[in-house]
Structure 1
């Protein structure tokens, strides 16, 4: 699809965005392209249909704004929470619109919209034949929905007592973060518990509940090379648990003296993590020592954080206008900065 129509319709806003960018921003152009590179998810302003997806080429030289809106001549919706991939499809989980929009991941043409049994959807994971979506409104909805890959039909829900947040596939099993944080009357963050739940796709039933031993707050859950990795942190230390999703056993990496880690990513055999003070660290997975290298300190309201092929992406998110995204090398050298949409919250290899 050519983007001449897009540029004509949004010429004024695009020119403003490009004019405000730094000299090293990617060029947001009108060339026909396949979106094979990096997708950027922009949450948008809560309560408005302002969620968008941007594209940047792998070499960071070219970019296109608002690719869903362009490809489908419509707004995506209210609060794009996350993006998942299966085959040639991308699944856009739109939290406050209570839907999942399925698009072709390379031209972003809409294929389907799933709304069945969805309430405040959060994250998504896939097996060969099914996909799993956490629903969590932090009050009375705490469940995992299951759908058929082939026709998007609803299969069942699994309800949890306290939480349903991140979900990943590991070694053919589905692993769910079923605890996290809540807040007291003074808005201090409190743990809700320390469980990770394993669901067997063969039965779509809970197989095991893994209770983590520390007293912190479960902050993140990722999958890497057949294992699930859960992040928990306290005000003094943080912990990464490597979980065997088949039997529920785990080993622990203690990050002594590194408190309040918020986000965890893994790339090329290395942990990368971000703490509450915006410090970004790296640590080799195989190293037994708890020591980690401080790479850099990000600026602003760091909301999106991902590592793709040795490049570290972080966003300084704005929820009233454009955000600023930054790209760093694996050693912490800034490579690029560019403007992205409202509330940039994630970066994805496509």
Structure 2
């Protein structure tokens, strides 16, 4: 019996062992700048330097792939996990290269690096000078938070002993909620950090593998838990030994659970995102896209398929959904609100995952 904790790591590692023959690259197209439109992280193949960034201009319907490499004449790195913009720079987390890079938002020229991190995952600012970087640790079990001063471009501290697999972060008042997805093992908790003292304040126990979180329009904190997936013969799930996934709503002030929606064993919720006001939340379940109405609360499927990453364009009310395509570059579907009809699609990079809307 084989237990797999992180589906994304499994996909990337498996296809990284396949043929690495390169497809002919599309000719690059010019753009007035990369500080408008949508940025997409493409993880690439595990233990290769095929991770990239794509830029999509929705007005011109123009996609440009490999923009970091085109601008800087070098590869970005191994497993491009996530991207964020704050202060004067755009920050790119390169997980298996153990670094973050920051670039000029308009030109995408490199302006700095923070090296020797420990399997970093996500970065989020907590005030006007500091950001937290979630890290799984070099053993993928010893989770921590790197404290990064983005005004000077240096790591200035670290919060140790956090738990297994710190993943997405959500600042709230003087707290930061951190999902503990489990790394190569299992965890069932949210860590709450005091962002003024950088001390762990408390934990909230949820279900196995909490991976993403969002605030709804009522001020409740929703947490997506994928559950522990155990495979008898991949991708066949051993339901007897897998655990239930769920969507859990927490009052962030009282820290009490107020709603719980249970999902299938080993096939719970991941990639939880929201629209502009938090009246609708979206997530991936059984590879399909689901809508969560937080007021009922209730869920429904809105698009079947084999989806890997989600993002929501608040300005144009369009849901972006990256389809899993193995070693091929991913297709990104654009679904228009309110009925989420497929509007069009475009090609990004391998394992398109994280979206940043500017």
TM-score normalised to structure 1 length: 0.80
Which residue among 311, 319, 325 is the counterpart of 2:318?
311
Q: In the alignment, what sits opposite 1:108? A: 108
Cα pair 2:211 2:225 within 8 Å, conserved = yes
- Quickly say closer, same or farther: Cα 1:327–1:216, change in 2 above 3 A: same
Q: In the alignment, what sits opposite 2:122? A: 123
Written as runs of structure 1 = structure 2, the 5 A alignment for 1:144-293 is 144-159=145-160, 160-180=162-182, 182=184, 192-212=186-206, 215-222=207-214, 228-233=221-226, 238-244=246-252, 247=253, 249-255=255-261, 260-268=268-276, 269-276=279-286, 278-285=287-294, 287=295, 289-293=296-300
Cα pair 2:63 2:346 within 8 Å, conserved = no
1:193 Cα shift? 3.5
| Distance (whole Å) between structure 2 residues aligned to residue 44 and residue 162 of structure 1 | 24
| Distance (whole Å) between structure 1 residues aligned to residue 48 and residue 105 of structure 2 | 24
1:257 Cα shift? 6.0
| Distance (whole Å) between structure 1 residues aligned to residue 351 and residue 84 of structure 2 | 18
Q: After superposing the two structures, state which structure 1 stretch, 215-224 or 36-45, moved more.
A: 215-224
The yes-or-no answer on 1:328 pairing with 2:338 is no
- Quickly say closer, same or farther: Cα 1:294–1:321, change in 2 above 3 A: closer
| Distance (whole Å) between structure 2 residues aligned to residue 216 and residue 161 of structure 1 | 13
- Quickly say closer, same or farther: Cα 1:257–1:206, change in 2 above 3 A: closer
- Quickly say closer, same or farther: Cα 1:296–1:36, change in 2 above 3 A: same
- Quickly say closer, same or farther: Cα 1:206–1:108, change in 2 above 3 A: same
**What's the RMSD between the two structures over aligned residues?**
2.7
- Quickly say closer, same or farther: Cα 1:140–1:256, change in 2 above 3 A: closer
SS across alignment from 2:50: coil
- Quickly say closer, same or farther: Cα 1:74–1:193, change in 2 above 3 A: closer
Cα pair 2:220 2:249 within 8 Å, conserved = no
1:179 Cα shift? 4.3
- Quickly say closer, same or farther: Cα 1:195–1:236, change in 2 above 3 A: closer
- Quickly say closer, same or farther: Cα 1:57–1:250, change in 2 above 3 A: farther
1:141 Cα shift? 3.1
1:62 Cα shift? 1.5
SS across alignment from 1:70: helix
1:271 Cα shift? 1.3
Cα pair 1:198 1:248 within 8 Å, conserved = no
Runs of 5+ unmatched residues, structure 1: 1-11, 16-27, 184-191
SS across alignment from 2:70: helix
Q: In the alignment, what sits opposite 1:14? A: 26
- Quickly say closer, same or farther: Cα 1:210–1:326, change in 2 above 3 A: same
State the Cα deviation string for residues 136-160 of structure 1 (Å, max 9, x = none).
1564431111111211222221122
1:202 Cα shift? 1.4
| Distance (whole Å) between structure 2 residues aligned to residue 204 and residue 257 of structure 1 | 34
The yes-or-no answer on 1:32 pairing with 2:32 is yes
State the Cα deviation string for residues 38-57 of structure 1 (Å, max 9, x = none).
11111111111111111111
Report how many aligned residue pairs link the two structures: 311
Cα pair 1:96 1:120 within 8 Å, conserved = yes
1:67 Cα shift? 1.1
State the Cα deviation string for residues 192-249 of structure 1 (Å, max 9, x = none).
232211111211111222223xx444232235677643223556662222341xx452
Q: After superposing the two structures, state which structure 1 stretch, 141-150 or 94-103, moved more.
A: 141-150
